[in-house]
Structure 1
Amino acid sequence: MTELLRTLFVTTPGTSLHLEGDTVRIYHPDKPGRHVLPLLRIEHIVVWNGVDVSDDLIMRSAEDHRGITWMSRNGRFLARVTGNQSGNPLLRLEQTRAYDDPQRRLSIARTIVAGKLQNYRQLLLRAARDLEPPQREEIRAVAATHAESLTAAARASTLTELLGIEGNAARTYFQALPKLTPYAPAGRTRRPPQDAFNCLLSFGYGMLRVATTGALEQAGLDPCIGYLHGVRPGKPSLALDLMEEFRPLLVDRLVLTLFNRKQITSAHTITDPAGGVALTDEGRKFFLNEWSKARERPWLHRELGRDVPAALLPLTQARLLSRHLRGDRPLYTPWIAS
């Protein structure tokens, strides 16, 4: 079983990270004392603008295949260092061959969409249990439309048709979220988000993108050659593909819970003059703490027949996709929550 390692998140401007033997030393002039963490227990390092990483720590992390990711203050991906690419190049050749084969590409894309729609339904049906009868039936009706979308997706004969089905299902889903919490608007806004709810969703998706990209690299796959999202310059399309089945239950569910428990306050977000909403330093630290705790939660994996921590689900699915591409499995099976 793969050991569950930590991701080190460093958000405070003025902080610097240094290599000290087999540890990372965290220094900030306003925080006296010696703060070190063993590198052996750290899988990934994520830092924000204003945080310095020493050259020797970057070199050591690259040597150990420990990723370092730089993010903007609002959670936008800036850069990533991973060291020498690992994995079998023959696997990446098969990944490219599957992309070049329209039917193989469509088959994988269908399963990705199926996983996302099934997990949409899981979230909605679970949440509906706690609602009063009128809203409960409305949410169940939305879940029923997603069941119809699943059937339509399985029959989609082109990628364009499949993307249309997925897009309509996503719009219906986000329009239903205000029935689950009074803090959610009817619809998704981004670049920039126009409200606190969408702000946390975007930030959570950014963290999920970091996790899925790292998982694909660890499995020996190229994060930039996707099937649903295709190949786009500067986009980790396969990471965006793999994220789809995780978005509803690993990010959306967490954000809904934080708002419904009234844990998100006015101190956690700030609105700029143009109406865009971003996390404050306090909000960023709070969400990352909750995100880290949620990553430890075990979820049943039907294919494996056992519980898997949320943090290891992307790697588990990346390995299943690798086995399919190599021909060891007839189909890629998405993760669907039970």
Structure 2
Amino acid sequence: MGGAGHLRRPLGTLPAAPRRRAPPPRGPGGDLRPRPAHLRAARRHLRGRAVTTCYVDRKDAELRADGAALAVYEGGRRTGVIPMGPLTHLVILGNARLDTRLLHRLAERGVTVSLIGGRRHQLLATCAPTLHGDGRRRLAQYRAASHPGRTCERAAHVVAAKLDGEIALLEELRPRARRGEVVVTALERIRTARANVEEEGGGLDRLRGLEGAAAAAFFTAYQECFAPSLGFQERNRRPPRDPVNALLSLTYTLIHAEHVREVGLTGLDPMVGFLHELDYGRESLVCDLVEPARPAAERFVWQLFHDRTFTDRDFASGAERPGCYLKKAARSRYYPLYEAWAEGQRRTWREEVRALLRWLEEGGDAP
């Protein structure tokens, strides 16, 4: 990841929407009606652009190859066509059917297919193009991951980048917090952790402890920036228990899938990271790369609620499906918003992976 370059970049924002007078409170909880301005802005932003990432979130949808296009069928009727020429990533959420002929076409064109579980929005599998042919890249990664000094160097870079992003975000949101003093206290704790990142000694355990303490402080302050009616009091997942955590989890999952694709195209091993220790089934390198991207994602989620693009009425929870999740109609609004936001982030994400690759190949200081 590009260290100083990453830290100087502003956190991502949605396409600008026209300012409007806030609608009056509605309902006993004082909830406000959704404001669709950012959705319209996102759709205008994407209109006429080539579709590079396609999201399929339709129950029992069937995907077929149709010449040079991907056709979507529901109930035997064709409901959509996406040209495969510019497509680079197909994200399938929930139940969908596709035949091997389509998989062959997608593989020939270098399109990554990500399968995300419909209930908990977890990345279940990735069908990616063949790994980069230069095995020396993976050997360089394994050597660095086996060297305690280089592992700590890289882990410190990841933690520093993430903490700098958290500090920048909380400074931006502090005027909007319900209790500004809580944000000030959190900022002091995160800044203290950030100052200690560069100290020597303690190894990975110390760095992980600093990152964990800073994350706890961050979410204590972050929750102060949302309406109490959303019930957001802490970070929770698997399953998320409130609307903010639900949107955070979905956004994190999509970002994770994007980084799995980038790492695969670069030819690195997604399972071998630096800050995140080896664990069966965990893509530790991808987790490392996602950490500095989280503050921008958290700003994106905050803005969606702040602008009332989503309210608690867009979410469902119940005994049949534990946790809190976006309703179907709300998900159809979320994907274009995410895509418009992610489009502005992908160059940074790609450069982060390339900077890591250069560091590995040069065997020098962390980028």
Which residue in the other structure is 1:234 paired with?
281
> Which residue pairs with 1:60 in the alignment?
105
Pair 155,184 (structure 1): closer, same or farther in 2 beyond 3 Å? farther
Change in 2 beyond 3 A, CA 1:32/1:23: closer
Give, in whole Å, the separation in 2 of the partners of 1:189 and 1:129.
Answer: 25
Q: What is the CA deviation profile of residues 216-241 of structure 1, one whole-angstrom value per residue up to 9, with x for unaligned ones?
A: 11222111111111221111110110
In the other structure, the counterpart of 2:195 is: 151
Q: Is the 8 A contact 2:70 2:81 kept in 1?
A: yes
> Which moves more between the two structures, 136-145 or 4-13?
136-145
Partner residue, 1:176: 221
Letter in 2 for 1:331: D
Number of residues of Structure 1 aligned to a counterpart in Structure 2: 314
With normalisation by structure 2, the TM-score equals 0.80
> SS in structure 2 opposite 1:155?
coil
Shift of 1:188: 0.8
Match of 2:355 among 311, 320, 323: 320
- Structure 1 residue matching 2:53: 3-state secondary structure: strand
Match of 1:331 in 2: 365
Q: 1:332 to 1:275 in 2, by over 3 A?
A: same
Question: CA-to-partner distance for each residue in 1:62-92, whole Å, 9 max, x for gaps?
Answer: 2232110111113111111113212421011
Once the 2 structures are TM-superposed, how far is the Cα of residue 4 of structure 1 from its aligned partner?
A: 8.7
Q: Report the equivalent of 1:29.
A: 75
Report the counterpart of residue 305 of structure 1 in structure 2.
none
| 2:216 paired with 1:216 | no
CA contact (8 A) 1:114 1:153 kept: yes
Query: Which residue matches 2:63?
Result: 17
Residues 122 and 95 (structure 1 numbering): CA distance in 2 closer, same or farther, change over 3 Å?
same
Pick one of 301, 304, 315 that aligns with 1:269: 315
Q: Corresponding residue for 1:110?
A: 156
RMSD: 2.1
Residue 321 and residue 51 in structure 1: after superposition, are their counterparts in 2 closer, same or farther (change >3 A)? same
SS of alignment partner, residue 36 of structure 1: strand
Matches within 5 A, 1:57-136: 57-73=102-118, 74-130=120-176, 135-136=179-180
* CA distance in structure 2 between the aligned counterparts of 1:160 and 1:4, rounded to whole angstroms: 45
Output aligned runs, 1:241-260, within 5 Å: 241-249=288-296, 251-260=297-306
Distance change >3 Å, CA 206–CA 240, structure 1 → 2:
same
Partner of 1:6: 52
Give % identity: 25
Structure 2 gap ranges (5+): 1-48
Pair 1:39 & 2:84 matched = yes
- Quick check: 2:177–2:183 contact (8 Å CA) kept in 1? no
SS class of match (1:147):
helix
- Contact 1:91 1:326 (C-alpha < 8 Å) held by counterparts: yes
1:93: Cα distance to partner? 0.3
Preserved contact between residue 272 and residue 284 of structure 2 (Cα < 8 Å): yes
Greater per-residue strand proportion: 1
User: Does the 8 Å contact 1:23/1:37 carry over to 2?
Assistant: yes
Give the letter for the 2:240 counterpart: P
| CA offset digits 1:226-281 (Å, max 9, x no partner) | 111122111111011000000111x2111111111222234432112285212222
